[in-house]
């Protein structure tokens, strides 16, 4: 059981880091720092978007966008961290 909890802890940590990377990349692109027609950057952005959007879509339905700021990634990270704490308490 400890191995499964350890694996899920690592998975939650990696997914949280991917969500943070997605937030940072979207901010950088929204400020216009994007290199036009850059295949590697587009591939990274597409990967981050494809990996995080299914999970973040659950929280975007809650209407957590106020003006141009979307708070759904923050709530999603908090939910992941709460799940992680529950899993670690089962250890």
Tell me the per-residue pLDDT of 15-63, one tens digit each, with 9 for 90 and over. 999 999 999 988 887 787 766 777 888 888 899 999 999 999 999 999 8
Helix axes 2-30, 39-60, angle to 10 degrees: 110
**Domain chopping of the chain, boundaries:** 2-90
Classify residue 87 by burial, with Cβ atoms within 10 Å: 0-12, 13-18, 19+. Answer: middle
* pTM (two decimals): 0.86
- Token code pair at residue 73: 């990634």
pLDDT in tens, 62-89: 988 888 888 999 999 999 999 999 999 9
Judge whether 16 and 81 are in contact, CB under 8 Å.
yes
């Amino acid at each position: 059981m400890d191995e499964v909890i350890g694996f899920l802890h690592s998975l939650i940590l990696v997914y949280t880091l991917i969500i943070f990377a997605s937030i940072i990349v979207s901010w950088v692109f929204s400020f216009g720092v994007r290199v036009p027609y850059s295949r590697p950057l587009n591939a990274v952005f597409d990967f981050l978007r494809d990996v995080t959007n299914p999970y973040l879509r659950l929280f975007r339905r809650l209407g957590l966008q106020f003006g141009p700021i979307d708070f759904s990634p923050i709530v999603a990270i908090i939910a992941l961290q709460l799940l992680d704490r529950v899993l670690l308490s089962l250890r």
